Structure 1
Amino acid sequence: MNEQQNTQTVKTGYELFSKGDIPNLLKLYTDDVEFIIPGALKVIPYAGVYRGKEAVASFFSKLHEAMEFERFEPVEFIAQGDKLVALGYGKARARATGQSEEEEWAHVFQMRDGKVSRFQVYTDTAAVAQAFQRSSQMAM
């Protein structure tokens, strides 16, 4: 696939994510897809490495249970060969604490045969982790 097609696939993925259409989003991934989400699992409940569509589906479920997004938008796409980087902005609230966080992020995609084979998130994990801290914990 070419860079333009890869970019369109990733843009379609973001559109499906924003609609909550995870079953169709999963169709854009290879069977052996790998997701890498940074952070300490004991603080960020969806952090970790997920391999395969079933595991990635569980990631989306954990993310939905943990966060309510106010804004989530990719702003820029940079494609070269079979790699694509999306730069964006997000603002969300941790459901468990009611604490908000906002961040700029970078998502790196590895493409294979027109599908996403690897996805890695680069973000301000401290800001995300802080959203999961209760106010009394933050005062310590």
Structure 2
Amino acid sequence: MSDAVRETLDRYYAALKAGDSVALRGVVSGDIEVHYPAPEGLLPWAGDWTGFEGFEAFLKTVSDHLVIDTVEPISLHVAGDTVITVLRGEWTVKATARKVHTETVNMFTLRDGKITRFQVFTDTAALGIGLGRLAA
């Protein structure tokens, strides 16, 4: 992986962790696309979000419902302008206090040192159970 790709991801995750909107604007393109697939109505943050304002609304919706307890990187793969990270994490659902453990794949598309597309593939059933929207 190139140093530029590593730097972009490091800046992105640091800005997310700090909740730093200015730093996020420096690493995320203004026309970013977020894609988080899930069955309709299951996860409040699922769907497609566009533009930086959409990206911020996506992050706020996630943070309205989840607390990130731990995230552990498992692997990272780079193919051209696409970066795939595999993460293991634990989240607490605010409304139910349930803990959710999942492995998640984040897929980034980079252009000119900025993230232009962010896709998330995770265990939507585990999150749905944690939210109390699915029976265990």
Structure showing greater relative contact order (alpha-carbon pairs closer than 8 Å, 6 or more residues apart): 1
Once the two structures are superposed, the pairs formed by residues 110-121 of structure 1 within 5 Å of their partners are 110-121=109-120
Post-superposition offset of 1:33: 0.6
State the TM-score, normalizing by the size of structure 2. 0.89
Once the two structures are superposed, the pairs formed by residues 19-98 of structure 1 within 5 Å of their partners are 19-98=18-97
Greater shift after overlay, 60-69 or 21-30? 21-30
Greater shift after overlay, 47-56 or 68-77? 68-77
Q: Does the 8 Å contact 1:3/1:80 carry over to 2?
A: no
Identify if the C-alpha distance between structure 1 residues 116 and 27 changes in structure 2 by more than 3 Å, giving closer, same or farther.
same
| Structure 2 residues without counterparts, runs of 5 or longer | none
SS of 1:44's partner is coil
Equivalent residue pairs, number: 136
| Residue of structure 1 in register with 2:16 after alignment | 17
State the TM-score, normalizing by the size of structure 1. 0.87
SS of 1:98's partner is coil
Query: Separation in 1 of the partners of 2:5 and 2:22?
Result: 19
Post-superposition offset of 1:110: 0.6
Identify if the C-alpha distance between structure 1 residues 22 and 74 changes in structure 2 by more than 3 Å, giving closer, same or farther.
farther
Q: Does the 8 Å contact 1:38/1:47 carry over to 2?
A: yes
Identify if the C-alpha distance between structure 1 residues 72 and 20 changes in structure 2 by more than 3 Å, giving closer, same or farther.
farther
Identify if the C-alpha distance between structure 1 residues 14 and 41 changes in structure 2 by more than 3 Å, giving closer, same or farther.
farther
Query: Separation in 2 of the partners of 1:14 and 1:67?
Result: 17
What code does the residue aligned with 1:132 have?
Answer: L
Post-superposition offset of 1:20: 2.3
Query: Could you list the per-position Cα deviations for residues 21-48 of structure 1 after superposition, in whole angstroms to 9, with x for gaps in the alignment?
Result: 2332232111111001122352211111
Post-superposition offset of 1:89: 1.2
| Residue of structure 1 in register with 2:101 after alignment | 102
Q: Does the 8 Å contact 1:3/1:79 carry over to 2?
A: no
Aligned residues: CA RMSD: 1.9
